[in-house]
Structure formats: C-alpha cells, structure tokens
Amino acid sequence: MAFPIGELSRQTDVKVPTIRYYEQIGLLPEAPRSEGNRRLYGKTEVERLRFIRHSRELGFEIEDIRELLGMAAQPQSSCHQVDSIAQNHLKEIERRIASLTALKSELSRMVEECGHGRVCDCRIIEALADHSQCLSEH
C-alpha cells in the first residue's frame, strides 16, 4: 500500500522537510510518483526512515548512517565494520562527556566564586574575560 509523504512523516515522526533532505542526499531512495506527481511511500521506506531517525537520535553522523544502511543491506556480511563505527562513535561520546564535565566544573567554580555584588566586581565576568583564570583547558 502506497501513501504520501505526510503519512510517512506521521508514521515515523520525521518532519517532511527532513524526509525530502534525506532523499536529496541519498539516505532515502527517491520515491516513485503518483500520476498527480505526489511522492508515494511504503513499508520499506517507513522501516528505513525509522532506522535513520533512531541512528540520528543516538548521535550518528550522516556518513556513518549511510555506511550502516549499506551494511544492513548485506545481512550475511561480517559485522566487524558495524562494530568499528559504533566503537568510534562511543569514543567520541566519551570525549564529549569529558569535555562537558570540565566545562561544568569550571562554570560551577565561577558561580561559587561570585560575590553577588556589582558587575564591576563580578568574578564570572573577570574569568570570562581572562582565560588564564580558568583551572582547566576547555
């Protein structure tokens, strides 16, 4: 059963412009058209778009998703490359968490040192103006 792009959007919780973008960059194959020139989709596109949306929610980059989709189309192949992509993504997430933790510590320290007086004496403004006052590189 074929349905229009609005229905695909509803079934996958992906906005219509995003669906068009994914078609434009080749993550979704270009949809066949009705006699009235409307895009038509089916179960295969729903499943593929759900895969893309979930991958994006997990923070995978477009090129990684493209590779993962290609590998998913070859179910008998080794999953070594899939593991590699996921491990690299996990390492990047751990790097971001460490960076955010350092930022949180630095901002917490600035707020704690704030005297809650006037801006001319504000410790936060001083620290933002002079990176050397920070305790860590961020």
Asked if residue 99 and residue 65 are part of one domain, the reply reads: no
Which domain does 41 fall in, by range?
5-72
Asked if residue 64 and residue 10 are part of one domain, the reply reads: yes
15: domain CATH number? 1.10.1660.10
Question: Does 30 map to a domain?
Answer: yes
Of 12-21, 76-85, 98-107, 110-119, the poorest mean pLDDT is in 110-119
Give the phi and the psi of residue 66 in degrees, each rounded to 5.
-60, -45
Please tell me whether the overall predicted TM-score, pTM, comes out greater than 0.85 for this model. Answer: no
| Mean pLDDT, residues 75-82 | 89
- Considering its fold, how many domains does the chain have in total? 2
pLDDT tens digits for range 23-39: 999 999 988 888 888 88
Asked if residue 89 and residue 39 are part of one domain, the reply reads: no
At 136, is the pLDDT very low, low, confident or very high (cuts 50, 70, 90)? low
The pLDDT of residue 100: 92
Asked if residue 93 and residue 126 are part of one domain, the reply reads: yes
Question: Does 138 map to a domain?
Answer: no
Question: Does 24 map to a domain?
Answer: yes
Question: Does 104 map to a domain?
Answer: yes
Asked if residue 59 and residue 33 are part of one domain, the reply reads: yes
The pLDDT of residue 103: 86
